[in-house]
Amino acid sequence: MTDGTTNTTETRAAARSPQRSAGRTAWLFVRDIVVIFIVALLVSFLIKTFLIRSFYIPSESMENTLMVNDRIIVNELEPRLIPVHRGDVIVFTDPGNWLPPGESENIVAPRSSNPVVRGLSDFFTFIGLATADSDNHLVKRVIGIPGDHVVCCNVLNQITVNGVPIKEPYTQVTGDIPAGKPFNVTVPPGDLWVLGDNRNDSEDSSMHQDLPSKGFVPEKDVVGRAFVISWPISRWSWLSNYPDVFRGVDEKGK
């Protein structure tokens, strides 16, 4: 009798053991998935905060380099750790009244009225795959860095940097001069001179010389350098700063 009871107890315990093992395995699997998800979110958040961000292009000011509906990835290490270079395509916050309320040249898409879309947008913004809605960011190309003497234009209607005429293959120009308005400036320390590639449809430095900023963009306002078009897939490409355009500029007197 005793042996039978013992055997029955052992049999039940043995039957429960695989169930406990399976339950523990499932719990460990779920725990690992949660940990991986949290770590991925944290890494994405840190990447967004310190390394890269994504921006949407709704305006024509940088055509044909950047087209309406393009999405770009911005390297936030520039200018924090890496200096800005001539030819860089940069994203920066409005230096002051470049974009009056209602202007459409901001580079962030308007916020959707659909709560589901807003929720997804907020989630992707948190992990760094989208950008928080804002109306005070612009995207332009750097033409002059601190100390540069930048002029538009010489007798051949060319922009010169430190006396060197530059030929800009990335521009879209209609009219007599390759800028919205003529200029003759020396870039102060800590500032930049920027122009849109679509020179006749761009709220850039040349168009804001009458403001207190005199058209200059403080380097502290630069969010980062755009280095790739990430969407749509058909538009995927690296963004060049065209070093050949500015070759020889540093050899000339400023």
Catalytic member of 48, 140, 202, 206: 140
Beta bridge partners of 239: none
Catalytic member of 61, 202, 205, 213: 61
140 is catalytic: yes
Size (the chain), residues:
254
- Helix locations, 81-188, DSSP H: 115-127
Chain center to CA of 164: 30
Measured between alpha carbons, how far is residue 228 from residues 54, 90, 237 in Å?
10, 11, 6
What is the SS3 string spanning 32-69?
Answer: HHHHHHHHHHHHHHHHHHHCEEEEECCCCCCCCCCCCC
Chain center to CA of 75: 6
61 is catalytic: yes
Q: Report the catalytic residues.
A: 61, 140
